[in-house]
Each structure stands twice: as C-alpha cells, then as structure tokens.
Amino acid sequence: MEQLVKKYANKLVQAKLGDHKGLSQPLIGGLDDTLVWNRKASETKVLENVFKGLNINSLIFLRPREPYGSLIYFLGQNALESNGLIQPKDCETKTFLHDLPVINEFDSKKIIKVLKKRKSVIIVPGKNHGSFHGPAVIAHGTVSPEQCFVTISSACFACFVKFFTDFLDNLQTGSVTKNAEKIFDLILPYLEAAQRKLPEFTLSPFSNEEQVYSSIIEAGQKTIEYELVDSYFGNVSYYWNDILYISQTGSSLDALKGCIDPVPMDGSTSSGLTASSELTAHLKIIEKTGCRAILHGHPKFSVIASMDCDPVEKAACKFSEQCHIRCPKKRFAGKTPIVPGEVGTGRFGLCNTLPHALEQSSSAIVYGHGLFTTGKNDFAEAFATMVKVENYCRSTYFDKINSLL
C-alpha cells in the first residue's frame, strides 16, 4: 500500500493537478492492515475520521494547482450560493459523477455525509472557517487509490470544461460577471499551449502480433504524455490480420501491457467481453473506413468546442437536456464533424453516429465526450490529427473570446 499511495501521488503531479511541494502536494491514504499516508500532514487528523466513517480503503485529498485551483474555487463559491452542486454537462460527468457536491468546511462529518452518496466532495471554505486553505477535492476508493485518482482527475477535467464553456456562453449572451472575467484573466497565463514536436511512432507494416501490441502500447503512452486525455480515459485499437486489437475497458492508457484484447472481426470468439465499452463503434469504424488505427482521447478544448452552441438556438432547442445524445444539428470544428452519441449499442449509441462521421473525415468529436481520430496504416497519422484538431479548437476558442471581450 505504501508503494501505491506514492505511485498515485506522483501520477497526480505528472498530470499537472498537483505539485511535489507546497499546498498542492497530494495527500493520499491507503488502508491495508494499517492506515498509511504518502506524507505527514495536519489534515490527516480529520481524514482519519473519514476512514472510520466510511467502508473505504483509500482516499485522496488534493488542493489542485493552477489553473484548476482558481476555477474550482469560483465554481464552488457559485454552487454554495445556490444548490451546493457544481453541475457540469460533459458526458463523463453525466455518466459517472452526476454532479460535484460542494461544502464550506473541512469537517469529517460533512465530508462523510457527502461521500456516502458521491465519489467526491469539493471544499470551498467560507471566510469564517479558520486557517483552512481551499479549494480542496477529496475522493475515496473501495479497492485501490486508482479509483480516487480517476475521480479526482475527472472532477478537475469536468470543472475545467464547465468554466470555459460557461464563460463563452455567458459572453455570447452578455451575462458574464466581473468575477468570472477576473478569474479568466488570472488563469489565462497557465493556458499557453506548449509548442512540442510530434513524437516518433513505430510505422507499419507490422510483421507479427508482438509489433501490433507494442504499437498500441506506444500510442497509449504518448496520448497520456501529451495530455490528450483526462485521467487515463480513452481507448485505442489496431486492425491486423482480420483481428481488432483493442484496449480493455477501464485500462490505463499509459499501462496497456497485458490489457489489450484481440477481437476477431467475425465475432468467432468471446474475447471482446473485457474490451473497451466502445468496441462496437471501433468495429464499425474499421468496416466503414478501411482504416487500421483508431485513437480516442479527451482533449479539453475539443470537448469545449463540441459544447459551443448558438445561445438563441440552444434556448429554442427541444433537445437541450439531451443534446449530448440527440443533437440534430450538423456542426463542425473546422472540418471535423461534431456528433452526438452515448457509449454502448443503444438507439443513440456511438456505433450509430460515429462511424458515418469518420467516413467523411479522419477525425470526429463526440458531443461533450472526446475526440476520435483514425490512421490509414498506423498511429502516427491518428496522433498528428488529434494534436491538430485540439490546437484548432483551442485557437478558435480564444479567437471567439477576444472578439467578444
């Protein structure tokens, strides 16, 4: 357990959600025979009571680094002034988190009450709550610290997307507040895109199965390294010799060794039972496009771009509460189509919306969910397309903001 708590503390730093020193240093507790922490901290006294009040074996306490700290504080303050909930509208939140409860005090009883119903709680202390510095995000796990890591990452991602989506929406309707503008200006310096060369990939043709596995592992690692996902969410697949090799459901993109399923295209085996939940969509994409490589990530500004809708049209849309699965309008980010859809094979499943879009383009954004790109022969093309689309969405967003301010 000691190794695990240290491992996920490092992963939070690598994900640029925490720091090795200072207030944003992650605090992680793991319970095996005894309760261990990755470091000493004054907060453990309260958090140990949280362990006693819940049936859990792990917990993460994090004061997120910038830009997350300021925007979560802003969203948390607004939540406390209304219903006590931050309510992001991205697909991951709707599916896994539902909403993000906020409390105004670092109190074990209040924390326990929330965590009995939700995976996380955000603390935004009021003016009269002592020396506690916030905001802070707490998440728990019943199996391992990995669960907490996923929840914390997802909560920070959801808040990022919500803040910037709301800011653009409010600018377009003339309802943005001075406080929101202040926070936007404060965190803007943290948002400069790093100019990085595209990484080198192992190129096709592949002569054996081992090379196929290696190429998938390589693609997953680089997708994480270039911050094209939140947490480790996303999936990757490659078609070779009438078999689709695809990452398993719940697998970490930076640790895919042993977590790739070979699924025959003719469905002759049950090997797809543990494959990604988007297996059916991947199979249909291969059939319709003839591509070999599929890469799926959650680049932030691609997701934000997918949720940008004309305010007048949005107000009149009868699907406004189900736009992520039923949006009827054809929309694009440059030449990249934006489509609705949900994970699975139902009426509004991605398998029914995504393959057709990828027949027309080598990239497609699923509303509020993420970006899919294809490569004709290998992952080099798919990865380059993902970076290109994300950079386009980022620059387009700030162009819109500048034209409205």
- Residue 270, pLDDT score: 60
Last residue of a domain, one of 163, 191, 219: 191
Instruction: Choose between 96 and 170: higher pLDDT.
Output: 170
- In a domain? residue 349: yes
**Beta strands 336-339 and 363-366, pairing class:** parallel
Residue 96 structural domain: 2-191
Domain count, the chain: 2
Q: Which long-range contacts (CB under 8 A, 24 or more apart) does 265-269 make?
A: 265/239, 266/242
49 pLDDT more than 70: yes
What residues does 333 pair with on adjacent strands? 336
Domain co-membership, 142 together with 25 = yes
- pLDDT tens digits for 237-258? 999 999 999 999 888 899 899 9
Domain co-membership, 251 together with 365 = yes
- In a domain? residue 392: yes
Residue 240 to residue 322: CA distance in whole angstroms: 37
Domain co-membership, 183 together with 102 = yes
- In a domain? residue 199: no
149 pLDDT more than 80: yes
Residue 358 to residue 370: CA distance in whole angstroms: 14
- Residue 130, pLDDT score: 60
- pLDDT tens digits for 65-78? 999 999 999 999 99
Across 287-310, average pLDDT: 95
Take residue 336 and report the two structure tokens written for it. Answer: 């990249």
Q: Which range (97-101, 114-118, 253-257, 319-323) has the least confidence? A: 319-323
- In a domain? residue 213: yes
Nearest to 88 by CA among 348, 277, 324, 313: 324
Mean per-residue pLDDT over the chain, rounded: 92
265 pLDDT more than 80: yes
Residue 121 to residue 84: CA distance in whole angstroms: 11
What are the backbone angles phi and psi of residue 377, rounded to the nearest 5°?
A: -125, -35
Residue 403 to residue 405: CA distance in whole angstroms: 6
- Residue 25, pLDDT score: 97
Domain co-membership, 301 together with 388 = yes
Give the confidence band of 392 by pLDDT, cuts at 50, 70, 90: very high
- In a domain? residue 202: no
Across 161-177, average pLDDT: 96
Domain co-membership, 181 together with 214 = no
Domain co-membership, 177 together with 261 = no
Domain co-membership, 293 together with 364 = yes
316 pLDDT more than 90: no
Last residue of a domain, one of 191, 217, 237: 191
Across 6-20, average pLDDT: 95
- Residue 127, pLDDT score: 62
Across 34-51, average pLDDT: 97
234 pLDDT more than 90: no
Domain co-membership, 226 together with 371 = yes
Give the confidence band of 129 by pLDDT, cuts at 50, 70, 90: low
- Residue 271, pLDDT score: 63
Q: Do the Cβ atoms of 234 and 221 come closer than 8 Å?
A: no
Percent of the chain with pLDDT over 90: 79
- CATH code of 335's domain: 3.40.225.10
By CB atoms closer than 10 A (0-12, 13-18, 19+), residue 391 is middle
What residues does 58 pair with on adjacent strands? 30, 141
- Residue 96, pLDDT score: 78
- In a domain? residue 201: no
- In a domain? residue 200: no
Domain co-membership, 153 together with 257 = no
Among all chains, which residue has been given the structure tokens 């990757």?
Answer: 236
Domain co-membership, 178 together with 214 = no
Q: Residue 128, Cβ neighbours under 10 Å: how many?
A: 7
Across 329-334, average pLDDT: 92
Nearest to 328 by CA among 341, 346, 347: 341
- Residue 128, pLDDT score: 59
Domain co-membership, 367 together with 262 = yes
What residues does 370 pair with on adjacent strands? 366
Domain co-membership, 186 together with 244 = no
- In a domain? residue 168: yes
Across 332-343, average pLDDT: 93
275 pLDDT more than 90: no
